[in-house]
Chain A
Amino acid sequence: MSGPLTGLRVIELCDELGQLAGKLLADMGADVIKVEPPEGSAARRVGPFVDDVPGANRSLNFWYHNTNKRSVVLDLDSPAGGAAWKALVAAADIVIEDRPPGALDRLGLGHRSLLGADGPAQPSLIWCSLTPFGQGGPWADFHATDLTALALGGPMMMNGYDPADAEGAPPIRGHGDQGYNTACHYAVQGILAALLYRDRTGRGQHIDASMHEALSSTTEVGLPYWFTQRVNVIRQTGRHAAATRSEPWLYLANDNRHALIFGVGRDNASWKKIKEWFQSEGFGLQFDEPRFDEPAARQPARGTPEAAEILAEVGRFIAAHAADEIYRGGQERRQSWGVVRAPDEALNDPHWDDRGFWVEITGEGRPGPVRMPGAPYQFSETPWELRRPAPRLGEHTREVLAELGISL
């Protein structure tokens, strides 16, 4: 079995912003040829590094985002490099690049130069330009990082603290380069939509992908509140931004971890199970009183004294347990509760081993395999597959140029 994109050749010219898009295509079978300058993609200089020692092949950020790709070094500023780039593009089904608007065309190597102004010179080619703000508009040349993109796009202003937890706290950026990730999710959606159109008609096209637009479409209830009521939602600790302040979802357990409580006994059947669990350990003895029988009275959003009492008791109960006990005990009683884990703590959860989620790779300084996240989806016929770890800088230059009959 091989991935659904087997047989497609993708030329990728991406650093931190666009590298996940290439990975998503490569992991599903596409032959993704990553073109890098002689000093390597900028992502190779992003830590953390193996043993904290920087080096072109030691970036764990690069290891993760460049699986299944082949690396070809080209100096696009040189005539030979430019010619090789054109030859690679001519052999491609898809190009994805994250250079600033117009940068490649100034070298005669961008989509405007190579797709032809008067009609496509290469009619079946799909070319995706992924940039912070899109190809045009007053901010097109603005500089951006993941932080400034999450600020302008809207996610940050949804996220932060109750004043009681951190008076005057700023909006907070969630880490992990989620701005770049969301930009890539949208870029790949566009590439695949264009691919389906090409399947039908044989025709390719250019795709103008903007991180700013992708993020502005990824703030859930934020825009609907503005559209419908002209209300800006307020930031709250560890839970959804809302029009008015709501009850907390995070509670500290006795192992200094947070449990996430997302509703308590919304229906009577699960309420009964929760009640029995609490009472078996001497908590919530008052829950037998009839005033707790009505589901509506138990919902925090209603602001009833019963709801407040339940949450106070939940807090006491959690403070007497380990967070994982709360998570599993709640789930076994049909509550969508959770535990706030560090990313690596999921390595200890056997459910993900059951599903074969983790994959093992090797790299410079780690000849023995190390684990990292694998597939975001399980396909029955054309599965996600790790065929090779991230390439060393220029590892495939000769191989790829020879395959395509390109001489430097």
Chain B
Amino acid sequence: MSDLPLAGIRVCDLTWIIAGPTATRVLADFGAEVIRVEHAQAVDPIRLGRPIKGERTTLNNSGFFNYFNRNKKSVLLNVRHPMGMELLHRLIAVSDVVIENFSSGVLESWGLDFEAQRAINPGIIYCSISGFGHTGRDRHFTTWGPTAQALSGLTLMSGLPGKPPAGWGYSYMDHTAGYYGAIAIMMALHHRNRTGQGQYIDISQVETGMVLTGPAVLDYTVNGRSWRRPDMPPGNRAWEPRIAPHNTYPCAGEDRWVAIAVRNDAEWQALVRAMGEPQWATSSRFDTNAGRLEHQDDLDAGIAAWTSTRDDYAVMRALQAAGVPAGVCQTPGDRVERDEQLQARGWWDTMPHPELGDESEFDGVTPRLSATPGTLRTASPLMGEHTAHVMLDILGLSPEEFAEHEAMGVFM
């Protein structure tokens, strides 16, 4: 363990759903000891989340949960019981980080705002991820990933002109709010290493989406142009830099597509050669980027006619060999079964899990640190799998005390 970069860091993990567990997945991958505090009366919905193995949920057979909670421990702790709350205080006392992604105000209602946590552990780093943050007039409003995507502008920035927004197809902002959580916590740990000082980090999921739209906001505040205007969003054509061709093109087979982006005239000439110099493509109106932008409909139709009878991976390889950016629109199955790059870099791994099988599957840890890479060490924990270990070995309860707490309904 000592060669993991976050070895020795203990995280009291009060998170659920996806944004918080994404943050602690990153910390756990890099070696932090992440202890999920769970409660049977308020089960993490992702423990019930599809896909599951088999027909009925058991709280321990969700592939969705497994993906986001590898390398972590799980304790059952009834914090509504005074003795449970006392044990949570003891866990905070021996942790470096407390993280939660409840609605704004929940931890305060537990009597555990930052001041209370600091009274328990003066160096504690407390990270909260909520929809709207802990301040501001709408702090009691709530989000899921799609809400944050809609409010930040990201949903509107995705789609074909004249159609409803396509949005993101998944909770991009649950991932990304989690990434900002992990980044913030590691920055705060560095500061604590230098000064001994902990701190409180307030993250609004909507704000972590709004920071991803900077140039679009500036185009409004500087140039007075909003993304809400005719012909926007431009589908898969380019916004900025304004280049063409830049789109997705159909390939042979059902729902197969290749993305192609030509950045300059040299790449256009390379694409023309790769297509076998069809007559339409040699027209002088396509010689310059300005001309290609002006005649983009004809350009895209010509390229689509070339790709539509061809295998998507063959198109990608031919264009890449010519120096033209091109990529297959890969399904999850493609990435696992057909992606030579991920395969060659050893991206896929398995770990035994009591209910998901001897080879429950995972992706790797990125980026790759040369001396102390992050690792996959365990699959996700069963509900309460580590209660006894944490209570006896970390919090120092005697077996008798443990049994007494158990009988009082503290570990449920």
Q: Do A and B belong to a common assembly? A: yes
Report the stretch among B156-164, B272-280, B395-403, B404-412 that lies at the interface.
B156-164
Chain A residues proximal to chain B, CB less than 8 Å: 3-5, 7, 24, 28, 45-48, 50-52, 60-61, 63-65, 128, 130, 133-134, 136-140, 142-145, 147-161, 165-166, 169-176, 178, 181-182, 185-190, 192-197, 199-200, 203, 205-210, 212-214, 216-233, 235-241, 243, 249-250, 252, 258, 260, 262, 331, 334, 336-347, 350-352, 354-355, 357, 366, 370-382
Question: Does B302 interact with chain A (Cβ within 8 Å)?
Answer: no
Q: CB within 8 A of A238: which of B53, B167, B194, B200?
A: B167
Report the stretch among B74-82, B291-299, B366-374, B384-392 that lies at the interface.
B366-374
Closest to A354 in B: B136
**Shortest Cβ distance from B119 into chain A, in angstroms?**
15
Q: Is the interface of A mostly helix, strand, loop or mixed?
A: mixed
Give Cα A227–Cα B359 distance, bound, in whole angstroms: 10
Given A158-B170, A214-B366, also A192-B190 (CB < 8 A): yes
Interchain pairs with CB closer than 8 A, number: 510
- Contact check, A171 vs B227: say whether CB atoms are below 8 A apart: no
Q: CB within 8 A of A193: which of B137, B186, B226, B332?
A: B186
Contacts of B222 in A (CB 8 A): 48, 50, 60, 366, 370
- Contact check, A220 vs B175: say whether CB atoms are below 8 A apart: yes
- Contact check, B150 vs A166: say whether CB atoms are below 8 A apart: no
Question: Does B88 interact with chain A (Cβ within 8 Å)?
Answer: no
- Contact check, B137 vs A139: say whether CB atoms are below 8 A apart: no
Contacts of A5 in B (CB 8 A): 187, 190
Contacts of B148 in A (CB 8 A): 338
- Contact check, A174 vs B325: say whether CB atoms are below 8 A apart: no
- Contact check, A48 vs B218: say whether CB atoms are below 8 A apart: yes
Given A46-B240, A240-B146, A262-B147, also A189-B188 (CB < 8 A): no
- Contact check, A340 vs B150: say whether CB atoms are below 8 A apart: yes
Apart from A156-B259, A190-B367, A338-B148, list 5 A-B contacts with CB within 8 A.
A160-B169, A197-B6, A220-B18, A343-B156, A373-B214
Question: Does B363 interact with chain A (Cβ within 8 Å)?
Answer: yes
Contacts of B327 in A (CB 8 A): 142, 144, 147-149, 151-152
Contacts of B238 in A (CB 8 A): 147
Contacts of A181 in B (CB 8 A): 176, 212
Contacts of B157 in A (CB 8 A): 174-176, 343
Q: CB within 8 A of B114: which of A128, A147, A203, A380?
A: A380
- Contact check, A48 vs B166: say whether CB atoms are below 8 A apart: no
Closest to B159 in A: A172
Q: CB within 8 A of A213: which of B49, B137, B225, B367?
A: B367
Given A138-B344, A258-B164, also A346-B151 (CB < 8 A): yes
Q: CB within 8 A of A28: which of B8, B146, B187?
A: B187
- Contact check, A343 vs B152: say whether CB atoms are below 8 A apart: yes
- Contact check, B165 vs A151: say whether CB atoms are below 8 A apart: no
